[in-house]
Amino acid sequence: MSYNDAGEQALLNKGLGLYFYHVPTGREVLFKAFLTAYEDSFQSKWSSERVYGRNDPIHTFQGTERSISLSWDVPAASYKEGKENFINASTLYAMLYPAYKPRMDVEGEKIGIISGAPLVKIKFGNLIIDASATGGGNAGYAHQTAKNAGLLGYLDGLKFSPDLDSGFFDGGEPNKPQNQSTAPGELIPQTIKLSCNFHVLHSHPLGWQAEDKSLRKEGTQFPYNANIPEPPGPKKPATKGGSTDGTKKPSGDPNDQAAAAKALE
């Protein structure tokens, strides 16, 4: 990949690129993260049922869904970089399709059977990341790609729009090498605008432990590696013949009762 601005390369060196990984094929693409919109949405689902004689319906919790809306620009300073961006964008479009394996039907014709749904992983800094890859808050995840640290889910679509104000690299120039000029009739956008909606499928436990009120495994880093603190330790259980704070309760023995009363004077 070629990036002409030192600042852009510095961001990539810090792990701040936008990574997409196609689970069925292992293909991965990387975009410079010029985000223009980002929204992370958590929506709880409840079912409601009205019953006779009750003013409020009965609500039953079903689950909480997460979706991320992304928009970003992909600029190019040269034809070569624009062509590379175009190829990366085309690869991303292809990630909307599943993987197939050949199979012969009853008439001997070769047909394709879906062998892998078009699941993808996305990674962007600590804002889009698998909480189980943060290593208990270790910042080393920043230099991992989407394959190892990306958030799993699926895209419900992808929008592509060339920035018409920025123009195109167009028309062949016979005096330039092929990697520096378009072929006749070819249009390469100087800036590509992309957007997508990503539906998250978490691969680690979510929620709380009922026993000690702590978050379940990897939950303390969910969702942005913020290291949610653990709750205070559980209260000390009452001892036999004692109170919850560990002091001994007076027994029925008169001597014990007298000693307890004297202690309160």
CATH code for position 129: 2.40.30.200
CA distance 89 to 203: 27
Picking from 79, 111, 78, 88, the residue whose alpha carbon sits closest to that of residue 31 is 88
Instruction: For residue 1, tell me if it sits in a domain.
Output: no
Range of the domain at 70: 6-234
Q: Do residues 118 and 22 touch, judged by C-beta distance below 8 A?
A: yes
Distances (CA, A) of 86 to 16, 65, 132, 191, 235: 20, 32, 33, 10, 60
pLDDT at 117: 95
Same domain, 53 and 170: yes
Using a pLDDT cut of 90, give the percent of the chain over it. 45
Segment 83-134, tens digit of pLDDT: 999 999 999 999 999 999 887 666 667 778 899 999 999 999 889 999 887 6
Picking from 146, 144, 155, 88, the residue whose alpha carbon sits closest to that of residue 117 is 155
pLDDT at 246: 42
Point out the residues of the chain with pLDDT beneath 70.
1-15, 104-108, 134-142, 171-183, 218-219, 231-265
Same domain, 209 and 255: no
Picking from 141, 108, 144, the residue whose alpha carbon sits closest to that of residue 30 is 144
pTM of the model: 0.75
pLDDT at 139: 55
Same domain, 110 and 218: yes
